[in-house]
Structure 1
Amino acid sequence: MMSVLELSERCSGVLQADLMESLWDKGLEARMVSAGGSRYVVVDGPIELADLRPFGVRSVRTTSHPFPLVSRDAGIASSPVMVGDVEVGGGDFVVMAGPCSVESREQIVRTAMAVKSAGASILRGGAFKPRSNPYSFQGLGGIGISLLEEASRAAGIPVVTEVMDPQDVEVVSRWAHMLQIGTRNMQNFPLLKEVGRSHRPVLLKRGMMATVDEWLQAAEYVVSSGNPNVVLCERGIRGFDRAVRNVLDLSAVPLVKGLSGLPVVVDPSHGTGRRDLVIPMSMAAAAAGADGLIVEVHPSPEEALCDGEQSLDFNGFRVLMDSLSALLEAVKLSQRQGDLKRCSAVM
């Protein structure tokens, strides 16, 4: 059992020190954290609010999960998350789209304009690329960040891009509206802490071999470092079937939503590694209750320097967006009918 103590403005200085000493005297491990402009103490064990009011503790919330700040029980880090002027987890289905890697000014600007026109809300693009093979294209680095910023302004759309090194977080944060933590870095704890200290929202991809608990504990690192604006991304886990790149675990979407209030999006491109599976798995993700998608789109996938086999072209992306629109309308209608039935049953 873990407890999260919310501190009032009165709990500062000597009173705060007395609170921590009191907790330690009880044999409890306690850690001070700040998130979303509020201060909390995370305590490893149960404790009663009545014992803590003299120290200026406003409330106590308990949870059985090892990720207290992101747990639904505590409700501290929860939907929605603002990415520029786009709300993720607020009820509207949000699509992030763009190339795996930024390759040139023409490529990224054309893609930004095309995905925005088709209905995407956020531009994705990689400037720093973690590749399994050291001889594969590693991205344009700082030049890629500059081109992403140019494409963002041209299309009037916010940008999400991956950051790999804690030393790059400050620079990337100046230009990107959202910082992505890739699957290989989900347990890069210095990086998680650094993006937690940044002011930018974070897209946290699930590790390819991570359990749901490990994924949420990675989110806890970000939130406990000061940043409650985390969006989780299911991008597939490693399986034995070589017909697909990964196994897209859509059961994780409702599972995580039951455990945490953080928004959840799905990556059907990396989740399957196959262009022909991107649209059907996108539809399945929407039906499973995801808050959005992150999809790879390229003007000429067959010429892409990275992951062309799982990228949609512009026409394929328009087909996806049209299909999603019809599905989401049907889902909303079904939800309204369900609400009416429940109201009738109550009356």
Structure 2
Amino acid sequence: MIVVMNHNAVNHDIDKVLEKLESAGFQIHLSQGVERTIIGAIGDKTRLNDLSLEAMPGVEKVVPILQPYKMASRAYMDEPTVVKVGGLDIGGDTIHVMAGPCAVESREQLLQAAQIVKEAGATLLRGGAFKPRTSPYSFHGLEEQGLEMLAEARERTGLCIVTEVMDPRTVNLVAQYADILQIGTRNMQNFFLLREVARAGKPVLLKRGSSATIEEWLLAAEYILAEGNRDVILCERGIRTFENYTRNTLDLTAVPVIKYLSHLPVIVDPSHAIGKWRFVEPMSRAAIAAGADGLLVEVHPNPAEALCDGPQSLNPENFRVLMKELGGIAEIMGKQMGHLPCL
């Protein structure tokens, strides 16, 4: 449930409500907006009648949250969440593009890719140091050496870093280097990993599972939010359907649906959804038109030589064209393209 306080409620009123809820065993999450203070309370709802909260000074109303996800819902917080990362605001009226290679392959490759995406207008560098691969014989990443290269790329370009974490045992290691911790589609319902990542104190990019419903996706986000980490970014990356021409089926309906159901920012990964580079550009444009807060795009200096996901990676020229196109679409949507703080 949520307790909505009056616009003129004073701190003493709020503290009294918090004390009463905590003494009754409720888990409390306080959200203080511009006009309203909202108190989220998770616990035994059968005790609500005994608390008589609506009779307390400063309380406007008590609203039950009917969805199984609580803190991720619009009922809990109506104002859109803006996730702050290294001087960037993800959400709100700004579009941010996270771009780079699927995997960190070498220092030269990564630094070249970082410079390419920065010059084209990206604000975050994506790159995998730990790679979950279907085959045990595929390239699985450079691990900590790759993380060190990502940190060097950030130092040289000013781009924030987003990279995947796969194992609870490596969360602290990855958090030392990354600005955003990515949870991949295979781990969306790895609840032990979600809890561990939530405690790392870094923003989390949560990809939708390949067979997950929107409700299951939001419940996965709930695990992170319930641990006290409010900085969650959702990422639609395609779902598995009967269609096999594309790698997955990009569910762009998820973008406005998430915006309606949740306050969390949502971005789109057209590269993994489509699996073919020639369709990444039109689906990127469509994602921004659908209301996405940003994109996660694979870009490689030479896709033909990529160690993984070359067929879905844009080359430098294609990425530059895409970034120019996105500016016009963002303007139509009443938004603007993000820029690095130093620019």
Q: TM-score range by the shorter chain?
A: 0.7 to 0.9
**Match for 2:261 among 259, 262, 267?**
259
Do 2:236 and 2:254's aligned partners in 1 also have CA atoms closer than 8 Å?
yes
Tell me how far 1:147 sits from its aligned partner.
0.4
What pairs up with 1:199-214 in 2 under 5 angstroms?
A: 199-214=201-216
CA distance in 2, matches of 1:313, 1:138: 22
Aligned equivalent of 1:42: 42
Q: Identity of counterpart residues, as a percentage?
A: 49
Higher mean alpha-carbon deviation, 275-284 vs 40-49, is at 40-49
> What does residue 341 of structure 2 align with?
none
Distance 2:57 2:216 in 1: 33
Q: Using a 3 Å threshold, how does the CA distance of structure 1 residues 41 and 84 change in structure 2: closer, same or farther?
A: same
- The within-5 A match list for 1:25-174 is 32=27, 40-43=40-43, 45=45, 47=48, 51-52=52-53, 60-75=62-77, 78-174=80-176
* Counterpart Cα distance in 1 of 2:39 and 2:258: 25
Matched, 1:18 2:20: no
Q: Which residue of 2 aligns with 1:177?
A: 179
Q: Does residue 221 of structure 2 align to residue 216 of structure 1?
A: no
Partner of 1:197: 199
Note if contact 1:197-1:225 (Cα within 8 Å) is conserved in structure 2: yes
Give the deviation of 1:45 after TM superposition. Answer: 3.5
Q: Note the C-alpha offset of 1:114.
A: 1.1
Instruction: Tell me the TM-score normalized by structure 2.
Output: 0.86
Query: Counterparts of 2:165 and 2:179 in 1: how far apart (Å)?
Result: 12
Per the TM alignment, residue 304 of structure 1 is displaced from its structure 2 partner at its CA by: 0.3
- Superposed counterparts of 1:289-308, under 5 Å: 289-308=291-310
| Counterpart in the other structure of 1:187 | 189
Q: Cα–Cα, structure 1 residues 77 and 62, in superposed 2: closer, same or farther, change >3 Å?
A: farther
CA distance in 2, matches of 1:247, 1:190: 28
Shift, 1:332, TM fit: 3.0
Aligned-residue offset at 1:5: 5.4
Structure 2: stretches of 5+ with no match in the other structure: 5-12, 33-37, 336-343
Shift of 1:49: 9.7
Q: In the TM superposition, what is the alpha-carbon distance from 1:16 to its structure 2 partner?
A: 6.2
Following the alignment from structure 1 to structure 2, what is the Cα–Cα distance between the partners of residues 75 and 114?
Answer: 38
| Contact 2:266–2:293, Cα closer than 8 Å, also in 1 | yes
Contact 1:236 1:271 in 2 (8 A): yes
Matching residue within 277, 280, 290 for 1:278: 280
> Deviation at 1:43?
3.0
Stretches of structure 1 that go unaligned for 5 or more consecutive residues are 21-30, 334-347
1:190-214 superposed Cα distances (whole Å, 9 cap, x missing partner): 0111111121000000000000000
Cα 1:177/1:239, change in 2 over 3 Å: same
CA distance in 2, matches of 1:324, 1:187: 32
Question: Structure 2 matches for 1:330-345, cutoff 5 A?
Answer: 330-332=332-334
8 A contact 2:21–2:28 mirrored in 1 = no
User: Separation in 1 of the partners of 2:222 and 2:273?
Assistant: 24
The Cα of 1:173 is off from its aligned counterpart by: 1.1
Between 1:86-95 and 1:40-49, the stretch displaced more is: 40-49
Secondary structure, in 3 states, of the residue corresponding to 1:237?
A: coil
* CA RMSD between the two structures: 2.6
Q: Secondary structure at the match of 1:261?
A: coil
1:242-253 → structure 2 map (5 Å cutoff): 242-253=244-255
Match of 1:310 in 2: 312
Counterpart AA for 2:239: I
1:342 alignment counterpart: none
Q: How many residues of Structure 1 are paired with residues of Structure 2 in the alignment?
A: 320
How far residue 127 of structure 1 moved from its aligned partner, in angstroms, is: 0.4
Pairs within 5 Å for 1:221-240: 221-240=223-242
CA distance in 2, matches of 1:110, 1:165: 28
Seen in structure 2, the aligned counterparts of structure 1 residues 51 and 284 have a Cα distance that, compared at 3 Å, is: same
Cα gap change, 1:284 to 1:16, in 2 (>3 Å) = closer
